[in-house]
Chains A and B, each alone.
Chain A
Amino acid sequence: MPAVQETVARVRAIDVDQYKYGFVTEIESDRAEKGLSEDTVRFISMKKGEPDWMLDWRLEAYRRWRTMTEPTWARVDYPAIDYDDLYYYSAPKGTKSGPQTLADVDPELLRTYEKLGIPLQEQEILAGVEQRRVAVDAVFDSVSVATTFKEELAKAGVIFCPISEAIREHPELVRKYLGSVVPTSDNFFATLNSAVFSDGSFVYVPKGVRCPMELSTYFRINEKNTGQFERTLIIADEGSYVSYLEGCTAPMRDENQLHAAVVELVALDDAEIKYSTVQNWYPGDSEGRGGIYNFVTKRGDCRGRNSKISWTQVETGSAITWKYPSCILRGDNSRGEFYSIAISNGRQQVDSGTKMIHLGKNTTSKIISKGISAGYSNNTYRGLVSAHRRASNARNFTNCDSLLIGNHCGAHTVPYLEAKTSTAVFEHEATTSKISEDQMFYCQQRGLSEEEAVALIVNGFVKDVLQQLPMEFAVEAQKLISISLEGSVG
């Protein structure tokens, strides 16, 4: 069989069906009535024991959302979502909102996280063995079920807790910063999130503190027909540093599940936030049935002078990805970075990229995007770089590479550049390439199987971005890349 046809046959056979996190946890849950109304919003707020100001904030967002229409500009295609046919709140029964110890957590939940490879047990450092520790906040459907290492972080003055807890315990911080980067009116999905968000993580790093460990949140959607609307808010006060990682998985289900998150980052003078994502939501099967619709608004505000925000993402999951982690470079000399690996296979559709908005003087940004398309997927990079007229000496470097595997996938690059100051310097490089049959043959002649060869070539292609991930996650990401591309050889 000629090679090209063989490639096609193999690609057809692939395997998004091999999704390894596709199990469902049998657990009773406490859900809101199906559908969305003011009552749903009140119900969520009540379940969370929120103060009135929070409820009012949500209701205002809800009313605004009712007047908005879903955006259609992205290069993605999906049947209309019936927002009244979803559950907006689901909590494993027996969990109350609020802080708890691991002892209170349903063992079934702990087993779920264990299966996902996420340790929620706090382990002491073994004598003499240097072990990097990661504090984890685990969010199951609509609630945070456990946060580890809280006490140790508290010693350093770092607040790391579910956002629902922060709303009750640290209202002054939440009121000051929530919605200050992504306003409730921002866009259809962000506004929806503002109305119904149920949980997520909150981080505050005080002045001059370097957060003593990596912080991480794992999101898991378990319930059927349930939307997950998490909200994450990270504030790095003057001169502080924090590295944060989120990971996401979901069971395999025939229906699509909606995920509309909002992440806001605020970096004050001389502060740095490094935000990494390994997104592996269920992508749907090879025919495009099921999978997560991932409509996410992520934005960082370099509010202070010399501040820095860096986004790194490895996107392998979701049926549809609509996501543009962005930086507002407000403070003079601030820096924004975006490193992305987006892999699409099967029938996945990805429309992702970033926005670098230069407002302050001498601001710099860097974008490295690597898109890999296989199967029948479509992968679009959409990026905006703009410089305000006061943003003198703004600089951007963009490098955007696409790699195609097989003949039925598509890669698209849509850059927008707007410079309102003549001193801005923007550089843009873009390439599209294919894994050639000759490269494959060369690798195989040296003893690599087809799958090893694809993984090797792809890992070479994404190397610049993988290097940006915290080390332990880089290994995880590398494995994930190989798994996502299994069977996609050509």
Chain B
Amino acid sequence: MLTIKNLHASVEDKPILKGLDLEVKAGEVHAIMGPNGSGKSTLSYVLAGKDDYEVTEGSVTLEGEDLLALEPDERAAKGLFLAFQYPLEIPGVATMTFLKTALNAQLRARGEAELPTPAFMKLVREKADSLGISTEMLKRGLNVGFSGGEKKRNEILQMALLEPKLCVLDETDSGLDIDALKVVSEGVNALRAKNRGFIVITHYQRLLDHITPDVVHVMAQGRIVRTGGPELAHELEAQGYAAYVADAAA
């Protein structure tokens, strides 16, 4: 589904990604772990097409289509979703309004009919309920005054609503207490499907106790340096990243 080949990317002329390869098949959950500064978040921004993240070499395709040639909103419409580490606040725009605008924009871009308001409301309510998001929260400005946990649940709500093909979760566990972590993980697990791939970026193993990955990658110095099964996460938890930092530096 997603194929990344020899990806090099720079931020302000500083190379961050240095020849990254990754293949995610439909239905798989890939975890990317690694020390701070290894380029994990950069990878998520490059995939989503953030300005200032310049690809200098390599290719990224989603279902065979060149992702790098598309604008961020076009990538979204093709089914790429990024759950942000720090979701942004938009004052004065009700969460409900934002959700509707986003969903309809994607439907339009795909040449599909927009959802009528009553059907949309019903859909949002269902999905919000399962994530413990109240009607009152949906009326508030997007992420304005939300707690860390509420912001992350709101990310998962958007993911559930937009039904992307490939979900990238960037440090979704950061800033969550154990209860919030459970709610968010259950939300993600509910979305696991045969036709959907996940990249779960995390520094800690604890998220992977709740979302069991099919494949675990270790990233260091802008590359995937090791790949294994779920047991690799446990090994990292026990031994830390010291070996990878030292190796890469050597």
Contacts and interface: CB of A to CB of B under 8 A. Distances in A.
A441 B50 contact: yes
Contact of A447 (B73, B84, B88, B93): B73
Contact residues of A: prevailing secondary structure: helix
Given A2-B51, A457-B93, A460-B93, A445 B82 contact: yes
A449 interface: yes
A438 interface: yes
Contact of A446 (B76, B97, B141): B76
Contacts of B48: 441, 445
B88 A449 contact: no
Interface string A415-447: 000000000000000000000111101111111
Nearest to A462: B92
Given A2-B52, A3-B51, A444 B92 contact: no
Interface string B21-55: 00000000000000000000000000011111000
Contacts of A436: 88
A488 B104 CA distance: 23
B77 A447 contact: yes
B88 A444 contact: no
Interface size class of B (residues with CB under 8 A): 20 to 34
Interface string A14-40: 000000000000000000000000000
Nearest to B73: A444
A338 B206 CA distance: 54
B77 A461 contact: no
B92 A460 contact: yes
A444 B90 contact: no
Given A447-B106, A460-B141, A441 B72 contact: yes
Interface in B216-243: none
Interface in A433-487: 436-439, 441-450, 452, 456-457, 459-464
A452 B101 contact: yes
A104 interface: no
B92 A439 contact: no
A6 interface: yes
A459 B73 contact: no
B98 A456 contact: yes
A23 B158 CA distance: 44
Contacts of B145: none
Contacts of A6: 51
A447 B162 contact: yes
Contacts of A442: 84, 87-88, 90
B114 interface: no
A456 B90 contact: yes
Interface in B173-199: none
A446 B102 contact: yes
Contact of A460 (B50, B90, B109): B90
A460 B101 contact: no
Nearest to A444: B72
B91 interface: yes
Contacts of B77: 447
Contacts of A3: 51-52
B1 interface: no
B160 interface: no
- 8 closest A-B pairs by beta carbon, nearest first, are A460-B92, A460-B93, A3-B51, A446-B102, A447-B106, A444-B72, A442-B88, A447-B76
